């Protein structure tokens, strides 16, 4: 059994980790830390866990994380990098759900997250936890920086287009019109995500700039093999709880007009356990992946023209966060990639 600790765990990615890990056949949850809630049974905060998780929050001191095999950080940005070195020294692997190990350029990190990066060497070592792109590197990683929720949907939605050796679409003018459920904003008291504000309502935000923009561009330029990418990214807030839908637009280059994009996508993800390329003409629904680690993609070329429209759905808390973390953990410990992740989506 893999001994797993969680730092943080009072937010949505934390409770989702608990849901997944508590039922994982090869995991033993050994500790969960929250300085503020020391001593409180996790199930007191989240009654959904009653009868299933008996663990209580404890302080980091009591938690003895150094005895874990792996520690997940479901914390605000900046926490993981402050504790990473010590844990690694103790032989503990780290999976960070925040942004500490995502952006390779520390200046960009500082600009968007408002703090200096405290361990650039570990950042250099860290592997970006997107298994469908980085599977082999993840297997041997000590530190994983998990992708943000939006970036997962955009990168996996564009990967088949960008990894063909030569450009198939105008890579300088990609568009991602993305929509996220309110759980993406976290379990923090805030006026903007109150039911009475965000319910029965819809709007864009961060059009001027969003933290996920540099992360996505970085990831897309890995996919192109270094060719520059231009992306317009417009996130929107959906009046619902879970789910991300990214509608991606790309202009097909003249030399790529004969390509069968449906086949291209199906081939690309033929062996991906969690990525489902739907039949031509499909419109994936966010609920079709609700509470599961699947990501579904549909490829459209309206009117047979030069604009590709790629529809991508994922559950922002699973494939966009906790589930992807467990998927990485499985790879890091030599387990079947799908272990503990075989939840069938919940509909209706």
Site string for a second copy, 178-207 (x = CB under 8 A): -x-xxx-x-xxxxx-xxxxxxxxxxxxx-x
Say whether residue 39 binds a second copy (CB under 8 A): no
Residues sharing a CB contact under 8 Å with residue 194, sequence separation 6 or more, in sequence order: none
Segment interacting with a second copy, rule: CB under 8 A, options 63-71, 106-114, 172-180, 252-260:
172-180
Candidates 282, 333, 337, 339; binder of a second copy (CB under 8 A) is 282
Q: In the window 42-71, what residues touch a second copy (CB under 8 A)?
A: 46-52
Which element (helix H / strand E) includes 324?
helix 322-332
Segment interacting with a second copy, rule: CB under 8 A, options 100-108, 115-123, 136-144, 294-302:
294-302
Instruction: Kindly state the number of chain residues that form the binding site for a second copy, as judged by CB under 8 A.
Output: 90
Handedness of CA 303, 309, 312, 316 (dihedral sign): negative
Q: How far apart are CA 97 and CA 204, in angstroms?
A: 24
DSSP assignment of 271-316 = T-SSEEEPPTT----GGGGTTSS-EEEEEE-GGG-SEEEEEEEE-T
Say whether residue 270 binds a second copy (CB under 8 A): no
State the nearest-atom distance from the C-beta of 207 to a second copy, in Å: 4
State the nearest-atom distance from the C-beta of 229 to a second copy, in Å: 13
Is the CB of 84 or the CB of 154 nearer to a second copy? 154
Furthest-apart CA atoms within the chain: distance in Å: 63
Is the CB of 100 or the CB of 171 nearer to a second copy? 171
Length of the chain: 348
Candidates 4, 6, 9, 12; binder of a second copy (CB under 8 A) is 12
Residues sharing a CB contact under 8 Å with residue 301, sequence separation 6 or more, in sequence order: 252, 261, 307, 308, 309
Segment interacting with a second copy, rule: CB under 8 A, options 41-49, 66-74, 117-125, 323-331:
41-49
Site string for a second copy, 207-246 (x = CB under 8 A): xxx--------------------x-xxx-x-xxxxxx-x-
State the nearest-atom distance from the C-beta of 296 to a second copy, in Å: 7
State the nearest-atom distance from the C-beta of 101 to a second copy, in Å: 25
Q: How far apart are CA 148 and CA 77, in angstroms?
A: 12
Residue 234 CA to its chain's centroid (Å): 18
Cα R_g (the chain), whole angstroms: 20
Q: Which 8-state DSSP code applies to residue 41?
A: B
State the nearest-atom distance from the C-beta of 346 to a second copy, in Å: 5
Q: In the window 132-161, what residues touch a second copy (CB under 8 A)?
A: none
Give me 245's structure tokens. Answer: 């839908």
The values of phi and psi at residue 313, to 5°, are -125, 145
Query: Does 328 participate in catalysis according to the annotation?
Result: no
Segment interacting with a second copy, rule: CB under 8 A, options 85-93, 142-150, 217-225, 291-299:
291-299
Paired residues of 237 in beta bridges: 180, 203
Candidates 87, 97, 313, 321; binder of a second copy (CB under 8 A) is 313
State the nearest-atom distance from the C-beta of 122 to a second copy, in Å: 30
Q: Is 108 helix (H, G, I), strand (E, B) or coil?
A: helix
**What are the residue numbers of the active site?**
149
């Amino acid at each position: 059994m893999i001994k797993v600790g969680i730092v943080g765990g009072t937010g949505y990615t934390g409770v989702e980790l608990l849901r997944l890990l508590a039922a994982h056949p090869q995991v033993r949850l050994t500790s969960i830390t929250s300085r503020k809630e020391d001593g409180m049974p996790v199930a007191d905060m989240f009654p959904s866990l009653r009868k299933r998780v008996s663990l209580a929050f404890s302080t980091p001191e009591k938690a003895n994380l150094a005895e874990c095999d792996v520690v997940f950080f479901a914390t605000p940005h900046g926490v993981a990098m402050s504790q990473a070195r010590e844990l690694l020294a103790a032989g503990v692997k780290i999976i960070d759900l925040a942004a500490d190990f995502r952006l390779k350029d520390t200046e960009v990190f500082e600009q968007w997250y408002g703090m200096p990066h405290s361990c650039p060497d570990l950042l250099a070592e860290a592997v970006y936890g997107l298994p469908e792109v980085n599977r082999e590197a993840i297997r041997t990683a000590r530190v994983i920086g998990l992708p943000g929720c939006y970036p997962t949907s955009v990168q996996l939605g564009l990967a088949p287009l960008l990894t063909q050796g030569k450009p198939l679409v105008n890579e300088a003018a990609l568009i991602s019109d993305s929509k996220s459920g309110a759980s993406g904003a976290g379990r923090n008291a805030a006026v903007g995500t109150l039911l009475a504000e965000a319910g029965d309502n819809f709007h864009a935000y961060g059009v001027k700039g969003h933290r996920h923009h540099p992360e996505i561009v970085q990831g897309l330029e890995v996919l192109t093999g270094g060719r520059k990418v231009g992306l317009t990214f417009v996130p929107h807030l959906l009046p619902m709880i879970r789910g991300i839908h990214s509608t991606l637009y790309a202009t097909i280059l003249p030399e790529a007009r004969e390509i069968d994009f449906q086949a291209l996508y199906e081939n690309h993800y033929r062996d991906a356990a969690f990525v489902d390329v739907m039949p031509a003409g499909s419109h994936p629904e966010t609920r079709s992946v609700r509470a599961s680690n699947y990501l579904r993609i549909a490829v459209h070329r309206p009117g047979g023209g030069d604009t590709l429209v790629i529809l991508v759905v994922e559950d922002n808390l699973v494939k966009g966060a906790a589930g992807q973390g467990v998927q990485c953990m499985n790879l890091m410990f030599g387990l079947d990639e799908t272990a503990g992740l075989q939840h069938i989506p919940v509909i209706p």
